[in-house]
């Protein structure tokens, strides 16, 4: 029940004489229970809002960097060249899954968060900041163990699940960097700006990405 619904019910219910706190009147309604429900709902909503804001501000959950294995879930197989199969992950649940998402697996070097795979590869990310729409911008690198390193830019958004109150993270956009330098990716005027690049492997044009209800690409 929403806060405004609780308030509406409080206004509608008759008090039924001299009903005291903790005791229903003749209509069987207890004002103190309604007030308690209102306080609980408001406190829960406030806590969820703070959790989402803190996550977007520093790309953390309860002060802990988002585990790189969670970010990796948004990446499909490079050979498929397809959109992400997984679009949402439960960050709060991952904090409790300490065997699958072990804190000891995470390595932090400056602003880069990564983990080593058993096969010798490594995956990591660097949080670049957020847009005015609260979409978080993350540069990722995927090293399969050979000589090639594949880099991408992800646009991610945090929210609170309405049923569980858990912090969840959705992928909004995924753009391969190709030969572009991740250090030259800019966040400016509410958009992500990818630089142009030319290497022996090919050329990549400059690109601008905005995040709102739908992704729009502008030249």
Question: Among all chains, which residue has been given the structure tokens 């109150």?
Answer: 165
Taking CA atoms, 36 is separated from 19, 30, 215, in Å, by 16, 10, 42
Strand residues in 20-166 grouped as ranges (E): 60-61, 64-65, 88-90, 106-109, 112-116, 122-130, 136-143, 149-160
Q: Which residues pair with 89 in a beta bridge?
A: 169
Q: What is the pTM of this model?
A: 0.73
Strand residues in 19-148 grouped as ranges (E): 60-61, 64-65, 88-90, 106-109, 112-116, 122-130, 136-143
pLDDT number for residue 37: 44
Q: Identify the DSSP state of 143.
A: E
* Cβ–Cβ under 8 Å, residues 163 and 154: no
- List phi, psi (to 5°) of 56: -70, -30
Name the residue among 139, 102, 140, 147 with its Cα closest to residue 123: 140
pLDDT number for residue 28: 52
Distance between CA atoms of residues 68 and 71, nearest Å: 5
Phi-psi region of 81 (alpha: psi -120 to 50; beta: other; left: phi over 0): left
Distance between CA atoms of residues 127 and 107, nearest Å: 14
pLDDT number for residue 41: 43
Question: Among all chains, which residue has been given the structure tokens 């830019």?
Answer: 153
Q: Give the 3-state secondary structure of residue 144.
A: coil
- Strand 149-160 relative to strand 167-176: parallel, antiparallel, unpaired? antiparallel
How confident is the prediction along the chain (219 residues), in pLDDT tens digits per residue? 444 443 344 344 443 444 444 445 445 545 555 444 444 443 344 457 889 999 999 999 999 999 999 999 998 776 777 788 899 999 999 999 989 999 899 999 988 999 999 888 999 999 999 998 889 999 999 987 777 888 999 999 999 999 999 999 999 988 889 888 888 999 988 899 999 998 888 899 999 988 664 444 333
């Amino acid at each position: 029940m929403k806060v405004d619904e609780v308030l509406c019910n409080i206004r509608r219910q008759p008090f039924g004489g001299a009903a005291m706190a903790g005791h229903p009147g003749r209509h069987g309604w207890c004002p103190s229970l309604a007030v308690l429900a209102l306080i609980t709902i408001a406190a829960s909503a406030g806590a969820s809002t703070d959790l989402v804001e803190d996550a977007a501000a520093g790309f953390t959950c309860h002060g802990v960097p988002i585990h790189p294995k969670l970010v990796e879930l948004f990446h499909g197989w490079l050979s498929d060249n397809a959109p992400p199969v997984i679009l949402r992950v439960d960050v709060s649940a991952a904090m409790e899954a300490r065997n699958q998402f072990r804190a000891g697996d995470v390595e932090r070097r400056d602003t880069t968060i990564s983990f080593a795979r058993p096969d010798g590869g490594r995956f990591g990310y660097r949080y670049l900041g957020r847009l005015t729409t609260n979409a978080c911008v993350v540069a990722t690198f995927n090293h399969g163990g050979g000589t090639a390193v594949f880099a991408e830019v992800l646009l991610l958004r945090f929210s609170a699940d309405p049923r569980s109150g858990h912090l969840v993270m959705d992928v909004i956009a995924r753009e391969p960097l190709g030969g572009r330098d991740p250090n030259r990716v800019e966040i400016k005027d509410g958009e992500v700006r990818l630089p142009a690049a030319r290497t022996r492997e090919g050329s990549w044009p400059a690109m601008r990405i905005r995040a709102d209800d739908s992704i729009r690409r502008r030249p």
